[in-house]
Amino acid sequence: MSKKRWLALLAVVVLFILSTTFNFRAATTTTNWDELITGVDRKWVERTIREGDRKEKIVVLDVNGVIQDQDDSSLLFQTPGYRHRTFLQMLEYAGKDPDVEGIIIRVNSPGGGVVESAEVYDKIRSIQEEYFKKVYVSMGSMAASGGYYIAAPADKIFANNSTITGSLGVIMQSFNVAELAEQIGIKEQTIKSGEYKDIMSPTRDMTDDEREILQSIIDDAYNEFVNVIVEGRGLTETEVRNIADGRIYSGAQAKELDLVDEIGSYEETVDALIEDLGFGNLQVIRYETSVGFNDLLQLSAERLSTDQGDLLGLQQLLRQTNSPTLMYLYTK
């Protein structure tokens, strides 16, 4: 083993000892009251963005980017974006916090995975039904497809005139590179257990039977999307299917179609929720992820124990599957 690897191993051992000591002292000297009260191990802090004259508050949560489940720890020092598990925990915490009277979800997203969108939708519905808390949505520059899916159950939806929304539907995509592979002499060899095991293979044309199978899956997800809008917006199924053909709408057009309630800014959404709650001047807070000493130790150990030649994350990128995924996603 090279000297460089020995030093890296030694650093990992030292960090492990420090991390273990820190965890033990924290566990024996402090009590996580938040976790005891709400059942959520909070890894974020509250930042006041508007002062109020009461202890009650409303919480602003952000959905920025593609709604997709990723390893939150890998995003620690990357550009801030959507963190699925953390967002769900924030929603749950806001629902259980007795001082939180209402929630505003600021959506700026082209959508994302069918499963992830459904998980956010279910969490919002549980907060409304179990804790009787109002949830308002403020749409940013884009709240399309899955971005609209998670907005549909809100008590009120606000959008800007120029917000891009709609794209109501489901998509699954892949590439067919059969002709290119033939030109450069690449041949795929597939051994499979069933006729449809390599469905949507990029190296051959799709059969009619395969297309029918995939279309049935798309139709199931689309029907679920339609039902979510019918339930959330009080429209008939016929009305929803007439407008849910995949096209995008401006915020103004969405208002005419009853897909949103009001044309208004984020600030106007906050003012409206405070007024509708009727508690007077509530404080407005935002949850922000925090990085503690233990997080830094763990991250450093992970980075040191990985191949130093993968500084750009290329190996992880290559390990990711390129299999087609069912998406509520607006694609340009």
Query: What is the spatial distance between Cα 114 and Cα 99, in angstroms, rounded to a whole number?
Result: 32
User: CA-CA distance, 76 to 70, in Å (whole number)?
Assistant: 12
Distance separating alpha carbons of residues 248 and 144, to the nearest angstrom: 7
Burial of 278 (0-12, 13-18, 19+ CB in 10 A): exposed
Report which of 117, 148, 111, 110 is spatially closest to residue 254, judged by C-alpha positions.
Answer: 148
Is the distance from CB of 66 to CB of 329 less than 8 angstroms? yes
Catalytic residue among 19, 109, 117, 145: 145
Instruction: Examine the residue annotation and report whether 323 is marked as an active-site residue of this protein.
Output: no
Catalytic entry in 73, 74, 141, 197: 197
Q: Which of 82, 136, 79 is nearest to 106 (CA)?
A: 136
Closest by CA to 172, choosing from 219, 240, 116, is 219
- CA dist 42 and 35 (Å) reads 7
Catalytic site residue 197?
yes
Catalytic residue positions, numbered: 145, 197
